[in-house]
């Protein structure tokens, strides 16, 4: 009996047929979806993280220690990470500053270490309230790679002012934890309602006690918010310092105007946190931003079909068996995954990717096509 010989063509055909069979057996999920159930942090999976610890900071703030998946590329102190968390069936994306240690000596292994974010619960903040009050160790979250340029330069300035309020201290603590011993002259002017409500209060005071920083606490319940005039009184040489400011919009707006009026706008670096509130529903107005096409779509029609019917050139390989050829950025709004009903939301600058072949409008939305 002659043993058949597998040629490269036949071997490839068998492999292709095996993959096709796997897709048929696991429909509507892909085989990779089942791998994600057993090894969600594996190389090649969508980037996720597992919450390892939830550490209280104040009565309404916690630090989440997270083990990122193997695709995590590390971060620079002061950068933020966008996380995706499911709340009441809706996937919400929010950005939080990274507060974990990452030193030059550890950079080569940073991708294998844990990271942390520190979250303050804000009134009516769906995601922040969920993260602070309800997340427990073992929770899986989605991750993006670290981003942002609110970081110290490679050559640190001789004199620095960190001007922060509320959770605005979080990116600054990321910088201090990594670089405080290399900085010469650092003033931290931080505002919070009261001493117990200062996030990282004990750590900041410990740094001040060993003269690593000069800490100025402003308790707004009794002293009021910080004005540009207050800054000049509390930090007489403020105009000689490179300043990193992070906090509420009012503080940053006033600071930018004051620095600009003094002719030293180039010495000010700001980071703004943007709250996002999005309405969801069944169907909605869909805007294909680059094509200039706007249409009404119901909650059951895939965006791929709706766009094609309106004459929009929609990238797709679905009908040829090429998965993920239809992936496009959701600029803003909400869509529903027709396979499982999950809602994904995005705000401008979020850069959330969706599959248009299995996503339908769940309210007004804008697609980058």
Give CA–CA dist 242/80, Å, rounded.
Answer: 21
Which residues make Cβ contacts (< 8 Å) with residue 184, sequence separation at least 6? Answer: 156, 158, 159
Answer yes or no: are the C-beta atoms of 169 and 199 closer than 8 Å.
yes
How much is the pLDDT for 34? 47
Q: Give the residue from 88, 114, 143 where a domain finishes.
A: 143
CA distances, 302 to each of 123, 299, 314, 339 (Å): 35, 8, 12, 11
Regarding whether 209 and 138 lie in a shared domain, the answer is no
Q: What is the CATH number of the domain that holds 299?
A: 3.10.20.30
Q: Give the residue from 221, 236, 271 where a domain finishes.
A: 271
What are the φ and ψ backbone dihedral angles of 343, each rounded to 5 degrees?
Answer: -105, 130
Regarding whether 87 and 130 lie in a shared domain, the answer is yes
Regarding whether 163 and 250 lie in a shared domain, the answer is yes
Has residue 93 been placed in a domain?
yes
Among 41-45, 62-66, 113-117, 333-337, where is mean pLDDT lowest?
Answer: 41-45
pLDDT, average across residues 45-59: 92
Question: Strands 159-165, 293-297: parallel, antiparallel or unpaired by DSSP?
Answer: unpaired
Residue the block writes with tokens 């005039």: 229
What is the enclosing helix (H) or strand (E) of 217? strand 214-219
Has residue 2 been placed in a domain?
no
Among 64-68, 209-213, 237-241, 334-338, where is mean pLDDT lowest?
Answer: 334-338
Give CA–CA dist 247/319, Å, rounded.
Answer: 49
- Partners of 81 in the β-ladder: 96
Give CA–CA dist 307/95, Å, rounded.
Answer: 30
Taking each helix axis from N to C end, the angle separating 31-38 and 8-26, rounded to the nearest 10 degrees, works out to 70
Has residue 344 been placed in a domain?
yes
Which residues make Cβ contacts (< 8 Å) with residue 86, sequence separation at least 6? Answer: 92, 342
Domain span holding position 325: 284-367
Three-state SS string across 135-151, please?
Answer: CCCCCEEEECCCECCCC
How much is the pLDDT for 108? 35
Q: Give the residue from 143, 177, 205 where a domain finishes.
A: 143
Share of the chain above pLDDT 70, in %: 81
How much is the pLDDT for 347? 82
Quickly list H helices, the chain: 8-26, 31-38, 126-133, 169-179, 201-209, 220-223, 228-234, 249-261, 303-309
Has residue 259 been placed in a domain?
yes
What are the φ and ψ backbone dihedral angles of 60, each rounded to 5 degrees?
Answer: -130, 25
Which residues make Cβ contacts (< 8 Å) with residue 177, sequence separation at least 6? Answer: 77, 99, 100, 101
Which residues make Cβ contacts (< 8 Å) with residue 253, sequence separation at least 6? Answer: none
Is the bond into 308 cis (omega within 30 degrees of 0)? no
Q: What is the CATH number of the domain that holds 228?
A: 3.40.50.80
| Distance between start and end Cα atoms, the chain | 59
Residue-wise pLDDT for 242-293, tens only, equals: 999 999 888 999 999 999 999 999 999 998 765 444 556 789 999 999 999 9
Asked if pLDDT for residue 2 goes beyond 50, the answer is no
| 3 state DSSP class of 10 | helix
pLDDT, average across residues 92-98: 87
- When pLDDT is cut at 50, 70 and 90, the band that residue 297 belongs to is very high
How much is the pLDDT for 232? 94
Has residue 336 been placed in a domain?
yes
pLDDT, average across residues 333-340: 85
Give CA–CA dist 148/171, Å, rounded.
Answer: 10
Average pLDDT of the chain?
A: 84
Has residue 8 been placed in a domain?
no
Q: What is the CATH number of the domain that holds 89?
A: 2.40.30.10
Answer yes or no: are the C-beta atoms of 98 and 172 closer than 8 Å.
no
Asked if pLDDT for residue 65 goes beyond 70, the answer is yes
Domain count, the chain: 3
Asked if pLDDT for residue 138 goes beyond 80, the answer is yes
**What strand order describes the sheet that includes 214-219?**
214-219, 185-192, 159-165, 242-246, 268-271
Residue 237 vs residue 326, higher pLDDT: 237
Regarding whether 95 and 181 lie in a shared domain, the answer is no
Does residue 12 come out as left (phi exceeding 0), alpha (psi in the -120 to 50 range) or beta? Answer: alpha
Regarding whether 173 and 254 lie in a shared domain, the answer is yes
| 3 state DSSP class of 56 | strand
Asked if pLDDT for residue 95 goes beyond 60, the answer is yes
Cα 41 to its chain centre, rounded Å, is 18
Give CA–CA dist 334/278, Å, rounded.
Answer: 7
């Amino acid at each position: 009996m002659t043993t058949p010989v597998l040629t490269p063509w036949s071997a490839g055909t068998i492999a292709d047929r095996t993959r096709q069979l796997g897709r048929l057996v696991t429909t509507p999920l892909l085989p990779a979806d089942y791998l994600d159930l057993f090894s969600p942090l594996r190389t090649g999976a969508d980037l996720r993280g597992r919450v390892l610890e939830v550490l209280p900071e104040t009565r309404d703030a916690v630090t989440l220690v997270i083990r990122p998946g193997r695709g995590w590329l590390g971060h620079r102190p002061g950068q933020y990470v966008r996380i995706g968390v499911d709340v009441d069936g809706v996937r919400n994306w929010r950005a939080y500053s990274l507060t974990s240690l990452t030193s030059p000596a550890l950079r080569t292994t940073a991708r294998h270490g844990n990271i942390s974010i520190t979250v303050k619960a804000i009134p009516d903040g769906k995601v922040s309230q969920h993260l602070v009050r309800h997340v427990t160790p073992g929770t899986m979250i989605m991750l993006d790679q670290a981003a942002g340029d609110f970081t110290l330069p490679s050559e640190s300035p001789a004199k620095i002012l960190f001007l922060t309020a509320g959770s605005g201290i979080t990116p600054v603590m990321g910088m201090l934890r990594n670089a405080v011993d290399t900085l010469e002259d650092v003033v931290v002017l931080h505002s919070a309602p009261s001493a117990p409500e200062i996030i990282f209060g004990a750590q900041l005071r410990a740094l001040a006690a060993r003269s690593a920083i000069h800490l100025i606490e402003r308790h707004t319940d009794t002293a009021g918010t910080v004005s540009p005039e207050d800054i000049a009184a509390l930090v007489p040489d403020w105009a000689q310092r490179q300043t990193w400011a992070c906090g509420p919009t009012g503080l940053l707006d006033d600071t930018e105007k004051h620095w600009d009026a003094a002719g030293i706008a180039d010495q000010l670096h700001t980071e703004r946190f943007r709250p996002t509130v999005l309405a969801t529903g069944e169907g909605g107005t869909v805007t294909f931003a680059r094509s200039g096409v706007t249409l009404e779509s119901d909650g059951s029609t895939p965006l791929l079909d709706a766009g094609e019917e309106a004459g929009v050139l929609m990238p797709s390989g679905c009908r040829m068996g090429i998965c993920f050829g239809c992936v496009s950025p959701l600029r803003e709004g909400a869509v529903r995954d027709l396979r499982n009903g999950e809602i994904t939301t995005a705000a401008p600058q979020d850069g959330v990717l969706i599959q248009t072949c299995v996503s339908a409008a769940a309210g007004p939305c804008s697609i980058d096509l």
